[in-house]
Structure 1
Amino acid sequence: MNAFLKLMGGAVLSAGLLSAPAWAGFEAGQLAYSQQDYAKALKEFTQAAKRGDPLSQNILAFMYQNGEGVQPNPAQAFGWYKKSAAQGNDYGQFNLGFMYEKGFGTEKNTELAVFWYKKAAAQGNTSAQLSLGHLFEKGEGVPKDMEQAVFWFTRAADEGDAGAQFMLGTLYEKGEGVPQDLVRAFGWYRKAAEQGNAEAQEGLANLSAQGVAPEAAAPAASASSAN
């Protein structure tokens, strides 16, 4: 997946799932965005979004959120994320959850954040899985539940999310939600560190200084079923 699509909304839906005009608008918007012609990208994505393309709705929301080609407008961003999420786009669902969690463009509501994160997470969205892990860890929007936190961190970590891998390393190092296991902690830190996660690199160095053997560090992830 190219960087543009990973940032903006996941894999492209097959052309057959979108009307031809909406698809054409998305492609034109994608090209303009890649050329940093944000004004043209905004125009193309707006046209496609109004035709009902959930990918374009998510990207348009992102542009309003970050002020690309337009003045930042959190309320507009929230509205377009909501339209995208309602059509089942997992990045639209994740971003809507994020807006609810942080209170951007709407009143803060962590319960609704959890609701939308779960919908996105069920589709394999690792950002949503990581966010759920943090909310269960902190007990925000849901009762504090370290077993569920570990479950969601593991789901995301198994898919290669460096932030989730770092969190698992931290939990195994401290023995929070799982039995303390420095070898597993080392293994997860190493996976995250290999992706450039600075905190994991620091954790790896600390465990190495304690004499944890890297040869033995091969994390075997296991997760409980989600509630």
Structure 2
Amino acid sequence: MKQLVVFLIFINILNATSFQEANNVHENQGALKAIPLYKKLAKQNNTKALNTLAIIFIQGDGVKKDIKRAYKLLKKSEKLHSSQAKYLLGKIYQSNKSPYYNKIKAYNSFVDSANEGYSKSQTMIGKYFLFGKLVDKDYEKALYYFKKASKQRDYSSNCYIAYMYASGSGVFPNFGRAHQFAKDQYRLGNKLCKKVWKDYNLGKYKKDDGWQIGDYNKPVK
């Protein structure tokens, strides 16, 4: 009897699937092979699996694109308090090609996610305030959210910080500082960093070593 119990436990362990295992199958064998594993985890309320399934259907990764199915998965994940799901829902609401297009819902979804600490949403909200998209321009709030995202290594936010320092948007112009924030993403081909680098000729400026500004120091590596 004891041997039978041990055997059953062993079988359960073999049948158990972690998100990492499903993700490995996805990367090595493709989405079609991984989908059944993600679905199994999704039934167990695994938000990473729910979100990844949604991304597969949004992108049409090995399957037909299905925004409605993705939306349903993300709403379930949102109810399970996934900040990533809120970000992805924001992207769906933001697209005027989406059947769920709603600019207000997009902004609110990004705000909720950003205030929960999700870096991509923080960058997104920073853009809203920087460019006055749907809300009044507020450079202080824009820089606040970009800083938050930058500290979490969402390096795309550094391009916006570089733009603010180069253009003097809400801060005193500092081309050396703009150089430092833009250089790595410029080298990696980020379109905004390349544009800021070219428009403000940042390559000719020396780096700025005087980093201490309030609670912010320098780009996180």
TM-score, normalising length: structure 1:
0.76
Q: How many residues align?
A: 202
Alpha-carbon deviation of 1:179? 2.0
> What are the residue-to-residue correspondences of 1:5-154 with 2, within 5 Å?
24=17, 26-103=19-96, 105-154=98-147
1:89-148 deviations in Å (ceiling 9; x for gaps): 221121111111124543322222222212222332211111111112232343332221
Q: Hey, what's the Cα distance between the residues in 1 that align with 2:135 and 2:15? A: 38
Contact 1:113–1:141 at 8 Å: present in 2 too? no
Pair 1:208 & 2:208 matched: no
Q: Hey, what's the Cα distance between the residues in 2 that align with 1:60 and 1:75? A: 12
Q: Which amino acid aligns with 1:114?
A: Y
Q: Hey, what's the Cα distance between the residues in 2 that align with 1:130 and 1:174? A: 18
Q: Which amino acid aligns with 2:173?
A: Q
Q: Which amino acid aligns with 2:22?
A: G
Pair 1:175 & 2:168 matched: yes
Q: Which has the higher contact order (CA 8 A, sep 6+)?
A: 1
Q: Which amino acid aligns with 2:17?
A: A
- Cα root mean square deviation, aligned: 2.8
Instruction: Tell me the SS of whatever aligns to 1:35.
Output: helix
Q: Which moved more, 1:192-201 or 1:156-165?
A: 192-201
In structure 2, stretches of 5+ residues that fail to align are 1-12, 217-221
Q: Which amino acid aligns with 1:207?
A: L
Contact 1:97–1:112 at 8 Å: present in 2 too? yes
TM-score, normalising length: structure 2:
0.77
Q: Which moved more, 1:64-73 or 1:190-199?
A: 190-199
In structure 1, stretches of 5+ residues that fail to align are 1-19
Alpha-carbon deviation of 1:194? 6.0
Q: Hey, what's the Cα distance between the residues in 1 that align with 2:147 and 2:112? A: 17
Instruction: Tell me the SS of whatever aligns to 1:70.
Output: coil
Quote the residue 1:7 is aligned against: none
Alpha-carbon deviation of 1:63? 0.7
Instruction: Tell me the SS of whatever aligns to 2:65.
Output: coil
Q: Which amino acid aligns with 2:38?
A: F
Q: Which amino acid aligns with 2:202?
A: L
